[in-house]
Structure 1
């Protein structure tokens, strides 16, 4: 059975509003002065993107209409829409920018879901869902990790990752 390394401590930000001090403190720990985010609003979500930091926050409305942090996107490379590689020092589950697909599966086990690859020509992706049984956070909310990989060939054990979404 794989050993699950410590979770990404920043997941404790999930469920907080955009103006929360903990979110601001986290961002300032990565970059000071902090660049202004690119804010994009959609009917069901609002994104605060820090492209130069390789980081994006997705906020969704809760009961009462308040926005709460639903997911954190971390990028591992330059993207077509202007994201640069993540500049933070802590990655989820002790990954590094060089972590390969086979190392992810060794650490976390077989994913709960996966897709892409093969004839779809869509990059491979894997998803893990975890119970909040480690004493972090409040309640027994589930959380997860979705990882987009570089390649489209599931037999390529050494493909790296392009982005992570912590939710």
Structure 2
């Protein structure tokens, strides 16, 4: 056991972290360290051995939060709708965000935080995603608060915006395209209608593709006014918790609804469907 303790040195840990590793490798090492600590305590090993193991376990757990996830995370397996209702501190939420960052160019898993009394936004511009958190339990954040000032256990994920930059877009692009292709969105089961369980959204998915899969939208709007400056057409499928805003030249102007079937999506908003 002393040999094991001698080999689990700070140098070994940092050397290991400097290389790109997989999440499963981290899990295996953490299990070994935990087993080492348990055995050390059971046989009443020297206190220095127990202390060192605890220190290594704490150090490695901290490192695991910042090391890129590669190899064993398939972004197409991420079910974004399943994240709704989670707190910002949830590992089930932070893990896919880190996975997105590891697959994007010059990306960061640290968000731009915009806090208001009734909503808090975590904006990941370089990941093509924005998270809307709703205060719960009577909590009211102060406008302009930093993340470390927020009561994150009193925030629940209430909406997700996914971004794509279609051809023909106008104005400054604030968000890059999300690095997931295709994006799998789960669909509700509606009595009397035959629908697939999911829709696979790619950068080329158009208005007619959404309608062919989801059916006619429950709500729609936009597209009115001149070709420049008007809002793109949008459609909402309320029971699915999906709203889509379309982009490109086909989505704007007086004839937007005639040409909108060929417009590709610009923003997909996911929300929790109302309870019927």
Tell me which interval the TM-score lies in, with the shorter structure as reference length: 0.7 to 0.9
Q: Larger radius of gyration, structure 1 or 2?
A: 2
Structure having greater relative contact order (Cα 8 Å, sep ≥ 6): 1
Structure 1 partner of 2:13 = none
Report whether the alignment pairs 1:95 with 2:201. Answer: yes
Q: How many residues align?
A: 148
> How do 1:1-167 residues align onto structure 2 when only pairs under 5 Å count?
9-32=79-102, 34-65=108-139, 66-77=154-165, 80=172, 82-91=174-183, 92=185, 93-119=199-225, 121-130=230-239, 144-150=241-247, 151-152=251-252, 153-156=256-259, 157-167=261-271
Contact 1:53 1:88 in 2 (8 A): no
| 1:94-128 CA distance string (max 9 Å, x none) | 11111010111001000000001133732100001
**Uncovered stretches (5+) of structure 1, i.e. residues with no partner:** 1-7, 131-142
Report the alpha carbon displacement of residue 42 of structure 1 after superposing the two structures with TM: 1.4
Q: 1:97 to 1:163 in 2, by over 3 A?
A: same
Q: Provide the aligned C-alpha RMSD in A.
A: 2.0
**Uncovered stretches (5+) of structure 2, i.e. residues with no partner:** 1-77, 140-153, 186-198, 272-276
More strand by share: 1
Structure 2 partner of 1:3 = none
Distance 2:83 2:89 in 1: 11
Report the alpha carbon displacement of residue 35 of structure 1 after superposing the two structures with TM: 2.9
More helix by share: 2
TM-score (norm 2): 0.50
